[in-house]
Copies of this chain bind each other. A is one copy, B any other.
Amino acid sequence: MRYFLEIAYKGTQYNGWQIQKNGHTVQGELNRCLSTILRQEIEITGSGRTDTGVHATAQVAHFDYDGELNPDRDAFRFNSFLPEDIAVKAIRPVHSEAHARFDADRRSYEYHVVQHKDPFNDHQAHHHRSALDVEAMNNAAHHLLGRQDFESFSKVHTDVNNFFCDISRAEWKHEGQRLVFHISANRFLRNMVRAIVGTLLDIGAGKSAPDSLPAVIAARNRSAAGKSVPAHGLYLTEVRYPASVYLNE
């Protein structure tokens, strides 16, 4: 049987999602835990990697198990075995061809900013000290919407065929003590959200002109955009699939 696993993790103590020979990774921890508990070699495949220090409230991964799981009971067993900073939120049976990476039709991220010193932050939000014009940041973010070439916000050496992404949401909201950027798209390039947020913060802080974003996109050149913001403000918050991947539960 093939299953989707929905997972939350705090990325601070991990060298990112993807398994490495000599690194402590979320994928590595999950493979180890599932293989031990299910007494067979389990290899999970994520919807995509997250970088060192990046968090997830709802990463999705698939795996095959030669047997049948009891979603609630087994999620509880996995959670008892996994470290405190990784939690399994759900296990769902899917069709045998369902693929966590290739079938995802929308991904969402949040970037969390705090503007005051917060002793309880614990690497869970980026502390940005200067005043921010959130309205200007939202006006600029509006230019990100739709299908466009986002090479200006991509890591320079990357192996993708094209830089087109279709962004369906891009907005800043005040949420409690935090200022949160919400962004959704069919796909994201490596480092893209952090480069976009850095560019928008420059606009909010008055370091770049409020109307500069269209020219930054049009440049198709990483050096036209702002600096990447730190990993610890970034959260993968949703990976959406067509309903047809799931088995009737």
Contact = CB atoms under 8 A, between A and B. Distances in A.
A87 interface: yes
Interface residues of A, number: 17
Interface in A98-143: 116-122, 124
A14 to B, nearest CB: 11
A172 interface: no
A85 interface: yes
Nearest to A83: B119
Interface string A76-89: 00010000111100
A87 B117 contact: yes
A55 B87 CA distance: 25
Contact of A119 (B85, B118, B120): B85
Nearest to A86: B119
Contacts of A118: 8, 87
A9 interface: yes
Contacts of A122: 10, 120, 122, 124
Nearest to A122: B122
A75 to B, nearest CB: 10
A79 B127 CA distance: 13
A9 to B, nearest CB: 5
Contacts of A120: 8, 10, 55, 122, 124
A61 to B, nearest CB: 15
A3 B22 CA distance: 52
A134 to B, nearest CB: 22
A120 B9 CA distance: 7
Contact of A121 (B55, B84, B116, B117): B84
Given A55-B119, A86-B119, A120-B122, 20 more contacts: A8-B118, A8-B119, A8-B120, A9-B119, A10-B119, A10-B120, A10-B122, A55-B120, A79-B117, A84-B117, A84-B119, A84-B121, A85-B119, A87-B116, A87-B117, A87-B118, A87-B119, A120-B124, A122-B122, A122-B124
6 contacts: A10-B122, A55-B119, A84-B117, A84-B119, A87-B119, A120-B124
Interface of A: 8-10, 55, 79, 84-87, 116-122, 124
